């Protein structure tokens, strides 16, 4: 399976990509997670990326394209079972660069799945999101709570934190950035004949099944 998940912040890309990874054995490649790991480790890349991320703006194209180029080449070398790109591409130049990377690796895309979620639902989801600072597992205090409050189901850590960019004002800017810079990708992939749109509201399991059906069609 070689797919891209696209959708506004909080549309469930990470939640569904992790599920696909777990059940289908296809690796999730999240540029957001890669960048957050670099911020946490305070690498030069992380220090550079942090100022864009904290404001809810996009990190420059050449930075993220380089990361994905390297990660996809490693995956091919290791014989990985495809990929789920989560949060990349996010601009038309990134999509064009991805086309060139896939050509170079002699790979093609199966589908680009758009998760459609209205803005008010996104704000509700992001304000309640909690992420495990140790293993990255994701929760929502209301919709997807851990079994024991404040404790990660996966690794037992008690560090379930709120992301810095989930403050309401930053979320609103991320939504603006999505509309201006990422939404044009829908037209780009529709023209390429690979776009599948899925209703991203409702239960996590139902959305997962809709994604699988959309990819198989
Ligand atoms: P990134 O980490 O990619 O953030 P994002 O795209 O804004 O998406 P999110 O991670 O916020 O949401 P999601 O769609 O994954 O939803 P989730 O599953 O978590 O990027 C962060 C930043 O990094 C960017 O702003 C940018 O600065 C930089 N960056 C990253 N990639 C870049 C790129 N390619 N180019 C340039 N810059 C880049 O779900 C959200 C919440 O909702 C969770 O609490 C979850 O439990 C809950 N939830 C999920 N599904 C449901 C459901 N069906 N019902 C109820 N609740 C649900």
Render pLDDT for 99-158 as a digit per residue (tens, 0 to 9): 999 999 999 999 999 999 999 999 999 989 999 999 989 999 988 899 999 999 999 999
Quickly state the pLDDT bin for 76 (edges 50, 70, 90): very high
- Read off the tokens for 66: 């380089």
pLDDT score of 163: 87
User: Catalytic residue positions?
Assistant: 13, 90, 129, 163, 174
Q: 36 C-alpha vs ligand 1 centroid, how far in Å?
A: 12
Position 180 scores a pLDDT of 98
Q: In terms of Cα–Cα distance, which of 69, 106, 116, 96 is closest to 185?
A: 96
Q: Which of 4, 6, 14, 45 has the most ligand 1 atoms within 8 A of CB, as the residue to mutate?
A: 14
What is the distance between the alpha carbons of residues 215 and 198, in angstroms, rounded to a whole number?
10
Q: Are 166 and 127 in contact (CB under 8 A)?
A: yes
Instruction: For residues 217 and 206, give the distance between their C-alpha atoms in angstroms, rounded to a whole number.
Output: 17
87, 173, 209: which to mutate for ligand 1, most atoms within 8 A of CB? 87
Q: Is 18 in the pocket of ligand 1 (CB under 6 A)?
A: no
The response to whether residue 32 sits with its C-beta less than 6 Å from ligand 1 reads yes
């Amino acid at each position: 399976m070689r797919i891209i998940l696209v959708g506004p912040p909080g549309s469930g890309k990470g939640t569904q990509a992790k599920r696909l990874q777990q059940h289908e054995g296809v690796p999730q490649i999240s540029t957001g997670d890669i960048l957050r790991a670099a911020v946490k480790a305070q690498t030069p890349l992380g220090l550079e990326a942090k100022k864009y991320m904290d404001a809810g703006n996009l990190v420059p194209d050449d930075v993220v394209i380089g990361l994905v180029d390297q990660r996809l080449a490693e995956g091919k070398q290791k014989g990985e079972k495809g990929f789920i790109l989560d949060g990349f591409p996010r601009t038309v130049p990134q999509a064009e660069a991805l086309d060139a990377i896939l050509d170079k690796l002699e790979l093609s895309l199966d589908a680009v799945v758009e998760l459609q979620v209205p803005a008010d639902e996104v704000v509700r989801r992001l304000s309640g999101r909690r992420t495990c600072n140790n293993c990255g597992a994701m929760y929502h205090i209301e919709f997807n709570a851990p079994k024991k409050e404040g404790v990660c189901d996966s690794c037992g850590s008690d560090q379930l934190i709120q992301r810095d960019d989930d403050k309401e004002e930053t979320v609103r800017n991320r939504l603006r950035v999505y509309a201006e810079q990422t939404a044009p990708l829908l037209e780009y992939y529709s023209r390429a004949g690979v776009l599948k749109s899925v209703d991203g509201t409702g239960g996590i399991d139902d959305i997962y099944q809709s994604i699988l059906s959309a990819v198989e069609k």
